[in-house]
Amino acid sequence: MFRRSIYKSSAQMQAMIEPGLITAAALDSVRPLIRPGVTTLELDTEANRTIRGRGAESNFQLVRGYSHTICVSVNEEVVHGIPSERVLQAGDIVSVDCGAQFQGWNGDSAITVVVADPSRAEVVERREELSRVTEGSMWAGIAAMASARHLGDIGAAIQGHIEDNPPLAEPVEASASRSEWGILREYVGHGIGRKMHEAPSVFNYRTPDPGAEVKPGLVLAIEPMVTAGSEETYVEDDDWTVSTVDGSDGSHWEHSVARHADGIWVLTAPDGGAAGLAPFGIEPVPLA
Binding site for Mg ion (CB under 5 A): 97, 108, 110, 221, 254
Taking the least distance from each CB to Mg ion, the nearer of 22 and 221 is: 221
- Evaluate whether 200 touches 6 at the Cβ level (below 8 Å): yes
Taking the least distance from each CB to Mg ion, the nearer of 133 and 221 is: 221
- Evaluate whether 220 touches 206 at the Cβ level (below 8 Å): no
Task: Please state the closest distance from residue 222 (CB atom) to Mg ion, in A.
Answer: 9
Q: For residue 261, what is the DSSP state? A: T
Task: Please state the closest distance from residue 173 (CB atom) to Mg ion, in A.
Answer: 27
Task: Please state the closest distance from residue 254 (CB atom) to Mg ion, in A.
Answer: 5
3-state SS track over 45-95: HHHHHHHHHCCCEECHHHCCCCCCCEEEEECCEEECCCCCCCECCCCCEEE
Other beta carbons within 10 Å of 111: 22
Task: Please state the closest distance from residue 148 (CB atom) to Mg ion, in A.
Answer: 19
Taking the least distance from each CB to Mg ion, the nearer of 110 and 158 is: 110
Measured distance CA(96)–CA(90) in Å, rounded: 16
What number of residues does the chain have? 288
Q: For residue 146, what is the DSSP state? A: T
Taking the least distance from each CB to Mg ion, the nearer of 44 and 254 is: 254
Task: Please state the closest distance from residue 118 (CB atom) to Mg ion, in A.
Answer: 31
Taking the least distance from each CB to Mg ion, the nearer of 38 and 72 is: 72
